[in-house]
Amino acid sequence: MRYCRKCLTQEMDQAEYFQNLHDYIDGLDEDIKAGLDIYTERLVICKRCERLQDAMCNACGCYVELRAAILKNTCPYKLW
């Protein structure tokens, strides 16, 4: 397991950064993690949204894959 080195995204290789993001999502505690069906449904909705740009929501600034992975989270525009 890799631990945070307290680096900034501007200091990281893009591929490394996104791998870290996906590793973080995969390692979320199952008690807070959205099920695969909910996660997939949320991402389908985000992919149709005009506010999605470069994996980020222009409404709130989050990475939609991370926001969608946590069950209690909601879309800032109540789309899910």
Instruction: State what percent of residues in the chain have pLDDT above 90.
Output: 70
Q: In the chain, which ranges are continuous DSSP H helix?
A: 14-26, 36-48, 64-69
pTM: 0.81
Q: What is the pLDDT of residues 41-54, one digit of tens each?
A: 999 999 999 999 98
Answer whether residue 17 shows pLDDT above 70. yes
How high does pLDDT run on average in the chain? 89
Per-residue burial over 41-77, b if 16 or more Cβ lie within 10 Å, else e, is ebbebbeebeebeeebbeeeeeebbbbbbeeebebee
What pLDDT is attached to residue 16?
83
Answer whether residue 3 shows pLDDT above 70. no
Q: Please give the Cα distance from 2 to 33 (Å, whole number).
A: 20
